[in-house]
Amino acid sequence: MSTRSRFARPSCLLVLALCLMQVSMSMRPARAAADAVGFIATHSPDGTEIGIWYPARGEMRHLVLGPYAQDVAPGAPPVAAPGSHVLPLVVISHGQGGSFTGHLDTAMALARAGFVVAALTHPGDNWRDSSRATDLAARPAALSALITWMLTASPYAGIIDARRIGAFGFSSGGFTVLAAAGGRPDLTKVGPHCVAHPGFYDCALLAAHPPVAGARTFSRDGRIRAIVVAAPALGFTFDRAGLAGITVPVQLWRAGNDKVLPAPFYADAVHAALPPGVAFHDVPGAGHFDFLAPCTAEAASLPICTSAPGFDRAAFHRDFDAAVVAFFRHTLD
């Protein structure tokens, strides 16, 4: 299935800049709400930074996280009773150089719909630290560790249904969830690809951070029951055999004017390698970073916050978030 967005305007070349942003937090009272989105920012025992959103009741506050903002009830009690194990879980993997905050609007939409959502800041591949940005196997391993922590030791372990777990990934996070769901990349394709396209973002990144020598093992996490993949990095490393291990439902998104991971090497390659009937969404005119949450007015000039003239990222995200929620509702319920 292919859907085309109503946003069919040209995009511009966007440059990754989240690593230049220092996440700052400010809060001001907003309104009291009977039904709210609860939120905490915390760390797992190994130090991984994690944001968690969930259905809650409490006082809503305006919270600014770097270039993004959200209206949430910080630390409010969840609506589900401990030990009930009734809420599905969605975990989120950000793109290279990002953080747990990058898809907070999608996380809030899922929480309003009754999901617990957990997003991690990938160790060694975030806006503060890119020392392990090309350690590809570390990303799905970190995502699996997040699932384990959420189910066993997080403050919300008692309300999560372990049988209903989904994963969302953008850019490098898209590669991450494909691998975690059973995809097997052929990394021998990277060398020839970068010889042919040395100026592509991923090839420049690999040149700046050569992969550590040694075997890379990608392990499927059978707890993941559905995945949403947006603008996946290294899509060309997956062929039909490499994606044959993915037996869960997939929703795939493509930015129609992606200058960072340009067609046909990334989302298109994944689409071609997946079985027919995958929910495939093309967004004409969208740039790579239009899958990130809409930014605050103060951050509007940042490259990751800048859309093509006439492209309304906020309006697009209303459709995008609704489609992601509907997909996970259908596949996890």
Query: What's the CATH code of the domain at 172?
Result: 3.40.50.1820
Count, residues in the chain? 333
* pTM over cut 0.85: yes
Confidence label for 24 from pLDDT (cuts 50, 70 and 90): very low
> What is the domain extent for residue 53?
2-332
Q: Give residue 224's pLDDT.
A: 98
Calpha distance 286→320 (Å, rounded): 12
15: CB partners within 8 A, 6+ apart: 303, 304
Tokens of 55: 């259905």
Asked if residue 160 has pLDDT above 50, the reply is: yes
Cα–Cα distances (Å) from 82 to 64, 78, 227, 301, in that order, read 29, 9, 27, 43
- Does the pLDDT of residue 18 top 60, yes or no? no
- Among residues 302, 188, 283, 298, which one has the least CA distance to residue 230? 283
pLDDT band at 31 (very low <50, low <70, confident <90, very high): very low
Q: What is the pLDDT of residues 75-94, one digit of tens each?
A: 999 998 888 889 999 999 99
What spatial distance separates the first Cα and last Cα of the chain, rounded to whole Å? 21
The position carrying tokens 């898209």 is 174
Q: pLDDT-based confidence at 210, cuts 50/70/90?
A: confident
Estimate to the nearest angstrom the gap between the alpha carbon of 61 and the chain centroid: 24
pLDDT, mean of residues 239-250: 97
pLDDT average, residue stretch 35-46: 95
Q: Where are the alpha helices (DSSP H) in 44-120?
A: 104-112
| H helical segments located in 76-189 | 104-112, 138-152, 172-180
The token pair at 57 is 């009741």
How many domains are contained in the chain? 1
Give per-residue pLDDT as tens, 182-196.
999 999 999 999 999
The one-letter amino acid at 292:
L
Mean pLDDT of 35-56: 96
